[in-house]
Amino acid sequence: MSLLWTREELEIATGGTFLGNTSVSVTGISIDTRTLAPGDLFIALKGDNSDGHTHIATALEKGAAAVLAHSAEGITDPRILLVPDTMRGLQKLAQAARARFKGKVVAITGSVGKTTTKEMLRLCLAPSGLTHAAEASYNNHWGVPLTLARLPREAAFCISEIGMNHPGEILPLAKMVQPDVAVITTIGSAHLGHMGSLDAIAEEKSSIITALPKGGIAIVPDDAHGRQFFTAAGKKTQAILWPCGANPQSTAHLAHLQTGSDGSRFDVSIQGKTFNVHLPAPGTHLARNAVAALAACAALGADVAKAAAALADFRPGKGRGALIQVAGGTITLLDESYNASAASIRAALDVLRHIPATRRIAVLGDMRELGEFSISEHQALAAPAASAADLVFCCGSYMKTLFDALPPSKQGAWAESAALLAPHVCAALRKGDAVLVKGSLGSRMRDIIAALNALPAVECA
Beta-carbon-side half-sphere exposure of residue 330 (alpha carbons within 13 Å): 15
The DSSP line for 396-444 is STTHHHHHHHS-GGGEEEEESSHHHHHHHHHHH--TT-EEEEE--GGG-
Q: Which residue, among 165, 164, 163, 158, has the nearest Cα to 179 in the 3D structure?
A: 158
Please calculate the CA angle 20-23-24 and round it to the nearest 5 degrees.
100
Question: From CA 142, how far away is CA 172, in angstroms rounded?
Answer: 12
Entry field: residues in the chain: 461
CB-based burial label for 69 (10 Å; 0-12, 13-18, 19+): buried
- Residue 52 among known ligand-binding residues: no
Binding residue per annotation — 115? yes
- CA-CA distance, 147 to 124, in Å (whole number)? 19
Kindly report the three-state secondary structure assignment for every residue of 241-303: EEEEECCCCCCEEEEEEEEECCEEEEEEEECCEEEEEEECCCCHHHHHHHHHHHHHHHHHCCC
Closest CA to 42 of 69, 2, 5: 69
Q: Does the annotation list 116 as a binding residue?
A: yes
Does 365 appear as a known binding residue?
A: no
According to DSSP, residue 269 is labeled: E
Bridge partners of residue 435, in order along the sequence: 333, 361
Query: Among 425, 369, 373, which residue's Cα sits nearest to residue 394?
Result: 425
| 401 marked ligand binding residue | no
DSSP state of 276: E
CB atoms within 10 A of CB 80: 25
**What CA–CA distance (Å, rounded) separates 116 from 121?**
9
- Annotated binding-site residues read 110-116
- Annotated binding-site residues for ATP read 110-116
